[in-house]
Homo-oligomer: A and B are copies of this chain.
Amino acid sequence: MSDRQTSFLLTDLYQFAMMQAYLEAGATHTAVFEFFVRKLPASRNFLMAAGLEQVLRFLEDIRPSEDELSWLEQSGHFSPSFIEALRSFRFTGDVHAMPEGTVFFPNEPIIRITAPLPQAQYVETRIINLVHIQTVLASKAVRMVLAAQGRTLVDFGLRRAHGAEAGLLAARASYVAGFNGSANVQAERDFGVPAFGTMAHSFVQAFDSEDAAFESFAKARPENVVLLIDTYDTQEGARRVVKLAPKLQALGISIGGVRLDSGDLRELAKAVRQILDEGGLSDVTIFASGGLDENSISELLAKRAPIDGFGVGTSLTTSTDAPALDCAYKLQEYGGQARRKRSAGKATWPGRKQVWRRLDSAGKLTGDVITLEDDPQRGVPLLKQVMRAGKRLGPALSLKETRAHAASQLDALPDALRDITKTAPYEVQISPRLRALAAEVDRFIDEGPDGKP
């Protein structure tokens, strides 16, 4: 489940095919690949980088087991000499990257891999697989954080996440983006994401009456009583809570909150707030869930729905409106020569690159420039080296540190970018030297290495 358990075979067949061909052709010089996003999904004003920690662990740990080598051998896909060469596979390259939680924009490399070509090629599939999903998820979650204006946000989406790993990484990425926690117990264990939980409709249904269900739950979980009140009739449920409260109080149990999971959440929250307040339960919080996303959260708060926290499931963990990014991991340099893909609509900027970010006097973003690595600009460089020769340059950041970095990135966003509706694009320039290099690579491709077409 966790990234430490990545199988060596979790890759595309062509990665092995190309590795074998590279080895046979002696194409083992240093290659530079960069991961970037080509364009923003329709509704996004920016993206938030996530997944680097899982990439670094993958690069530290990845190697074939004997078992995997035997399977590859009997599969008949590859030559025995290639399989023998794989035996000693380790990642020995360098990694430069933007820290997780950094806000970024199209065409900006967020991870750069520098390694012998067969290694840098092989790691492509899993690097994209890990960075893509977490960046998708953090970029979605952060919109909910902006919409919720400080209300509690909890990830409820494990069940509809795309498998176990997606569910775990959703809990992690949303916490980085500013969520308060997740319902996912494993995520508390693996990543320290605080686990939250209430009760389900089935609990209420299993008892002969809602009263009996509420009382049983409160007695069993006295330290954290959040009662789900919409199984049959929400306002009736709220009245039962008021009636139950003194009885529980006598046992030393106080009700922490109620949860609404269906219906018109604004109207119901108002009615429930009134019932609770009139019943002397003004400290009891209202938590809402049920098909929520950043737009409905924003609308509920705009209409002053008295909701203290939101549980968000499907729309978060599948990033329903934008479940994928148009991203790529592309060869930008090989054997010291800049490279460029020119396929229609998919051309790339060649060379080892850096991104410089300019901030105004209030610390807000005012524009980025993508340059070659050795072409410093005004502002702050965003990519830093984090791995050299297969070893990390420092200890892993704690998730809390990463979360704090993400929060400071949100603080630095100009108001237009903080809007969850689409706004004018942020300015990202391509430096003159980078443009010149691209033109030079084109001439090389058009004319061939010897100057002839």
- By a CB distance below 8 angstroms, the chain B residues around A17 are 197-199, 217, 220-221, 224
- By a CB distance below 8 angstroms, the chain B residues around A125 are 158-159
* 10 tightest Cβ-Cβ pairs between the two chains A and B: A13-B197, A163-B165, A21-B220, A162-B162, A14-B197, A162-B166, A262-B343, A263-B344, A128-B159, A202-B331
A163's partner among B9, B158, B163, B205 (CB-CB below 8 A) is: B163
Q: Restricting to A206-249, which residues have a CB under 8 Å from any CB of B?
A: 206-209, 216-217, 219-221, 224, 230-233
- By a CB distance below 8 angstroms, the chain B residues around A233 are 342
The distance in angstroms between the C-alpha atoms of A129 and B313, with both chains bound, is 12
The distance in angstroms between the C-alpha atoms of A263 and B9, with both chains bound, is 31
- Known contacts A1-B7, A166-B165: A156-B12 contact under CB 8 Å: yes
A20's partner among B14, B220, B346 (CB-CB below 8 A) is: B220
Q: Restricting to A43-72, which residues have a CB under 8 Å from any CB of B?
A: 71
Residues of chain A at interface, number, CB under 8 A: 105
CB-CB nearest in chain B for A23: B220
- By a CB distance below 8 angstroms, the chain B residues around A1 are 1, 5-7, 10, 165
Q: Is the CB of B216 within 8 A of A21?
A: yes
The distance in angstroms between the C-alpha atoms of A327 and B264, with both chains bound, is 20
Q: Is the CB of B331 within 8 A of A205?
A: yes
Q: Is the CB of B77 within 8 A of A163?
A: no
The distance in angstroms between the C-alpha atoms of A320 and B345, with both chains bound, is 20
Write the A160-203 contact mask toward B (1 if CB under 8 angstroms, else 0): 11111111110000000000000111101100000111111111
Q: Is the CB of B117 within 8 A of A185?
A: no
- Known contacts A183-B12, A314-B324: A201-B331 contact under CB 8 Å: yes
Q: Is the CB of A206 within 8 A of B339?
A: yes
The distance in angstroms between the C-alpha atoms of A166 and B163, with both chains bound, is 5
Known interface pairs A12-B156, A27-B207; 8 further A-B residue pairs with C-beta atoms within 8 A, sorted by A's residue number? A10-B168, A10-B184, A27-B216, A129-B158, A129-B161, A130-B163, A205-B340, A208-B448
Q: Is the CB of A20 within 8 A of B189?
A: no
Q: For the complex, is A31 an interface residue (Cβ under 8 Å from B)?
A: yes
Q: Is the CB of B163 within 8 A of A129?
A: yes
Q: For the complex, is A269 an interface residue (Cβ under 8 Å from B)?
A: no
Q: For the complex, is A16 an interface residue (Cβ under 8 Å from B)?
A: yes
Q: Is the CB of B6 within 8 A of A164?
A: yes
The distance in angstroms between the C-alpha atoms of A189 and B13, with both chains bound, is 12
